[in-house]
A and B are shown apart, each in its own frame.
Chain A
Amino acid sequence: EPEVTQTPSHQVTQMGQEVILRCVPISNHLYFYWYRQILGQKVEFLVSFYNNEISEKSEIFDDQFSVERPDGSNFTLKIRSTKLEDSAMYFCASRRGLAGGNIQYFGAGTRLSVL
């Protein structure tokens, strides 16, 4: 069964460093998302991406964040200068199209630890 793949599973970085979280969505999907879950808190929407541009972003997704689909398979989230409060589990999700409801498939997540 096709699945969303995220790498790495755990990323440790120093405050102020740049990190890139990588995702390979399901191959025929067209809509891509990043969510994050700070320990003990809700899963929060960060950004949605379609047709090589951002469709919607949350207040959390400030200038420190960017997303990119550099080729036909990868979807990346970059945090330019990490802060302690960026420590969280980051989930990538993808959806096939408009038909059939907003059914999103999630990856296993990348745990980001900022020291």
Chain B
Amino acid sequence: AQSVTQLDSQVPVFEEAPVELRCNYSSSVSVYLFWYVQYPNQGLQLLLKYLSGSTLVESINGFEAEFNKSQTSFHLRKPSVHISDTAEYFCAVSERAGGTSYGKLTFGQGTILTVHP
């Protein structure tokens, strides 16, 4: 079984400031890692994913996340946030292909990022 902990329920920042949203996971098997974003009144959108290869993954809108196996973390960062980044961010994990529970996503509690002008 997997579990995901997002250490901050709310993160307020000012526009153009850097931000880090923390995510730690627990699993007895190898995993895939994901960040999803939920804008107000919308569904979950995939922001970025770690499947294999380089431990640093980037999104098209400037977010990046680094898979740290020893610390079992997948923190999300952005060097300079915009008002439009205001949303709720969810970290999620699943077993890698071939696992008995492959497919099921296990989510963290979510972090509400609020960007102030």
Q: Using CB atoms and an 8 Å cutoff, list the residues of chain A in contact with chain B.
A: 4, 6, 31, 33, 35, 41-45, 48, 50, 55-56, 58, 91, 93, 95, 98, 100-109
Contacts and interface: CB of A to CB of B under 8 A. Distances in A.
Interface of B: 32, 34, 36, 41-46, 49, 51, 90, 92, 94-95, 97, 101-110
Given A42-B110, A101-B32, A102-B94, A55 B43 contact: no
What DSSP secondary structure best describes chain A's contact surface? strand
A106 B109 contact: no
A101 B105 CA distance: 12
A57 to B, nearest CB: 10
A103 B101 CA distance: 15
A50 B104 CA distance: 12
A106 B103 contact: no
Contacts of B42: 108
A102 B107 contact: no
A110 to B, nearest CB: 10
Contacts of B105: 33, 35, 43, 45, 93, 102, 104
A102 B44 contact: no
A24 B105 CA distance: 20
Contacts of A6: 43
B43 A43 contact: no
A44 B103 contact: no
A47 to B, nearest CB: 9
